[in-house]
Amino acid sequence: MSTSGTGIVYRPRRLRTTPRMRRLAAETRLHAADLVLPLFVKEGLAEPAPITSMPGQVQHTEATLRDAVADAARAGLGGVMLFGIPAERDATGTAGDDPDGVLQRGIRVAREAVAEVESETGRPGPVVMADTCLDEFTDHGHCGVLAADGTVDNDATLDRYAAMAVAQARAGAEVVAPSGMMDGQVAVIRDALDDAGFDQVSILAYSAKYASAFYGPFREAVDSALQGDRRTYQMDAANAREGLREADLDLAEGADMVMVKPAGTSLDVLRGVADRSDVPVAAYQVSGEYAMIEAAAANGWIDREGAVLESVTAIKRAGADVVLTYWANEIAEWIK
């Protein structure tokens, strides 16, 4: 039993001896089709605008969005998640469900780019998804409409989400992704989509979405107007059980996929949701997670590729089937 009298009963290091052995023994693999690239499109831009706090990421024009989606398609990504930044904002986020609004235009452009690359390569391109939320469209920057006392009015917001989801579906979104954490948002959107004839459009529910300091760079990415915080609707980072309950509610309301966000600080919740979900589970590696690694790597303090691959592998290991990450294209290249 023991080896030369050392008392060692088994040597786990045998499976770590060579790259080929480690590859065979790996429990978690990254695949391009599991990755979703978030993309920003801004109305009225002449040139793509770099997002300072997210080096390498830009606000796209419609033309460069088309190129970015085509690149994502050639990289074999599973999806793209689109965010729109309108030229005009108002109290109820009117631009969010305008058929000609920036996000709807972006969705159309993205679908065209996917179709072009699909016909060129003969392979499936990325699923086109859209963020279904009001914060990019309201002048106060909240994810919903405000009541007279200044709080976010849950049920009034649901009507707006329903209208946005239908507008996104009409523009060609294959997945709508409500991210505002309003109670009942999945059920209301499902009804609205079905009534409008879009029973084949899926809902990716941001189920356990925490109020997070790690969304900081995203606020720059969408020129956010928000003063204050989102703590009356997004979850408290102290709570894990509550995240599971949120996911259960979304599943009961008909979510086709559920999401946990931010990914890196919620791996326990992600594991819990993955264990009870019978639909695909997504996790969003958010802007702050991106910015931290980019900043450390730019200073020479961390190995960039190593840190990126390790962070995304950990998210998959914790139970994510799908990972939204700003590094999606680059990762796809590395793991080819």
Q: Which residues are catalytic?
A: 209, 261
From 7-15, 85-93, 128-136, 154-162, give the range in contact with ligand PBG by CB under 6 A: 128-136
When the beta carbons of 114 and 164 are compared against ligand PBG, the nearer one is 164
| Least separation in angstroms between CB 84 and ligand PBG | 10
Q: Based on the shown chain and the rule CB under 6 A, indicate whether residue 246 belongs to the binding site for ligand PBG.
A: no
Verify cis geometry, omega within 30 degrees of 0, for the bond prior to 262.
yes
Query: Residues 6 or more apart from 308 whose CB is under 8 A from it?
Result: 293, 327, 330, 331
Q: Based on the shown chain and the rule CB under 6 A, indicate whether residue 287 belongs to the binding site for ligand PBG.
A: yes
From 3-11, 127-135, 154-162, 309-317, give the range in contact with ligand PBG by CB under 6 A: 127-135
Q: Based on the shown chain and the rule CB under 6 A, indicate whether residue 218 belongs to the binding site for ligand PBG.
A: yes
Which single residue is written with the structure tokens 């003063």? 227
Cα(335)–Cα(224) distance, integer angstroms:
34
CB-based burial of residue 87 (10 Å sphere; 0-12 exposed, 13-18 middle, 19+ buried)? exposed
Cα(335)–Cα(330) distance, integer angstroms:
9
Q: Site residues for ligand PBG, window 131-150 (CB under 6 A)?
A: 131, 133, 135, 143
When the beta carbons of 106 and 117 are compared against ligand PBG, the nearer one is 106
When the beta carbons of 133 and 323 are compared against ligand PBG, the nearer one is 133
H or E stretch covering 36: strand 35-42
Cα dihedral 261, 183, 143, 131 sign: positive
Size of the site for ligand PBG (CB under 6 A): 10
Q: Based on the shown chain and the rule CB under 6 A, indicate whether residue 327 belongs to the binding site for ligand PBG.
A: no
| Least separation in angstroms between CB 133 and ligand PBG | 4
Q: Based on the shown chain and the rule CB under 6 A, indicate whether residue 207 belongs to the binding site for ligand PBG.
A: no
From candidates 145, 244, 286, 291, binder to ligand PBG by CB under 6 A: 286
Cα dihedral 149, 213, 238, 283 sign: positive
Cα(20)–Cα(137) distance, integer angstroms:
50
Which single residue is written with the structure tokens 């450390």? 296
**Cβ(230)–Cβ(218) under 8 Å?**
no
Cα(296)–Cα(212) distance, integer angstroms:
20
| Least separation in angstroms between CB 25 and ligand PBG | 33
When the beta carbons of 143 and 158 are compared against ligand PBG, the nearer one is 143
Q: Based on the shown chain and the rule CB under 6 A, indicate whether residue 35 belongs to the binding site for ligand PBG.
A: no
| Least separation in angstroms between CB 127 and ligand PBG | 17
| Least separation in angstroms between CB 53 and ligand PBG | 10
| Helix axis angle, 267-276 to 304-317, nearest 10° | 40
Q: Based on the shown chain and the rule CB under 6 A, indicate whether residue 215 belongs to the binding site for ligand PBG.
A: yes
Interacting residues with ligand PBG (CB under 6 A): 131, 133, 135, 143, 179, 215, 218, 230, 286-287
